[in-house]
Structure 1
């Protein structure tokens, strides 16, 4: 007996990353609502290690200008290393990049066009707001980073539920010193990544892009899958205690 689809399932499957936003800002109450939703995220031993800074207006513009300057000078200040290795994950990342550039209409040989795509990242894709997710370094940082990831997912789903959109951007974490300086964030907090957010531009072709997801069987191994209809829910629906 199949479980009926719920609004949550529909929400999960409707979220996508937006790469072109309208300039109109969200209201303070909408942003507060998203932050309150995100605050319900689970964390290791309830440490709630996220330190989130929302930049809008002049602060947002100053960060973008600083990142663009640093990019032009080939100067990064990432708090964490990055990379995909040289195997399966690198191949997936390459396919992702190729897909995005294709929709933008930028050829592999178009150096200036590809450079402009990067710069558009650093302009937050035109989004009026950006959330910067900082974390303290506790132990090796892995569990803390996992907590930040759960916070970010809740943040993104709350945006979707409220009629807004966002996109998590690792590239924003490559300019941690710029963000810290503009926002006055202490050195002991490390920038993992940022989320640009606001209202999606419905006329932008790039926003029609939906990234491929692997079949579940390629990511998850289920040991001893329950037999069909053997769940507690199914038993109850059939009148069993």
Structure 2
């Protein structure tokens, strides 16, 4: 269990520091496409790197989906979520340190935080984040289903996260991951913090929606989907 928790903390740190960091230090250079690809590639790499250890959730919404799908115990889920938030907060703090003391220019103007108001209103942001998260969690559950083709889940998950960011970046900056939103927001001032609740609530609602769709597609007991016994690489998780 200890190795799983460490893997989730490290994995979430890597996702936030490198993927959110790609926006913070290079958004004007790489643009939304580059940031979307960064998120997708980082998650793809993590799926194969730590998938055999923890299943590579690195996202409380994914953990909730797996929990509701009976692929993880409540105790494990709680430990995963704490580890994910800790990893994201450490990454957000390090990005802030680079901006404040490292001479790095924050090209997002908000440490890569999520927000609504310029391109979408509160209601629109809520719907967007619910639907995008539902897509992510649904894909995770389907491609890690017991009957899915082994070895290709990580690729599918990385690709869908890229597409999700291409849609979401112009609207909310794309959360679909409460930990990803919490980490930078804690160091970005009052405005991001005041809107943070939406980027916690909407992804969790999206996860619940995804589980409902998943069960409608494959049934309640025909496969575990992203379980602790099957990871995105198709290998057995180290227990």
TM > 0.5: no
TM-score (norm. length: structure 2): 0.24
User: Could you tell me the TM-score, scaled by structure 1's length?
Assistant: 0.24
The structure richer in strand per residue is: 1
